[in-house]
Amino acid sequence: MSKANPLSIPLPISEVIRRELIVRFLAEILQIIDSPEKQEDFQAALQTYCDSLKPWLQPGDGPPNPRAAFSFLEECSFDETGENITVVLSPEAEALFRAWLRRNTIWSDTGLNTAHAWLN
């Protein structure tokens, strides 16, 4: 599912858990940006999402000189069955993934990401 350089693994977690978390990260992005009609709307929604993760970034999360515009995936390929996909996050996306992990961990630890019974 995902490949990472040894130095880019955000936490000491197993590869299986990392794969699941990357799927959740990418799914959240796709859910939030939905499927806008115009490219400009897509870019604006994605930028808003990335900006929402900035408070959770730490200096060592990303490359020393991040690109202003970047692709989330450096590599994306399907196996011969089309059932499995392999992705490699760009350095900037890896930094956002780390910020997402940090945010979700804190939200989980403080109970901020739980759905209340009246919302079900």
Q: How many residues does the chain have?
A: 120
Averaged confidence pLDDT in the chain: 82
d(CA 10, CA 12): 7
Asked if pLDDT for residue 113 goes beyond 70, the answer is no
**pTM (2 decimals)?**
0.76
Residue 12 clears pLDDT 50, i.e. is over it: yes
Pairwise pLDDT comparison (119 vs 58), residue with the higher score: 58
CA–CA distances in Å: residue 89 to residues 14, 15, 35, 104 = 17, 14, 21, 19
- pLDDT tens digits for range 41-62: 888 899 999 999 999 999 888 8
**93: buried, middle or exposed (CB in 10 Å: 19+, 13-18, 0-12)?**
buried
Q: What is the CA radius of gyration of the chain?
A: 15
Domain ranges of the chain: 14-57+69-113
Give the pLDDT band (50/70/90) at residue 82. confident
**pLDDT per residue over 22-43, tens digit each?**
999 999 998 888 877 888 888 8
- Residue 78 φ then ψ, to 5°: -105, 150
Q: According to the model, what pLDDT value does residue 4 have? A: 45
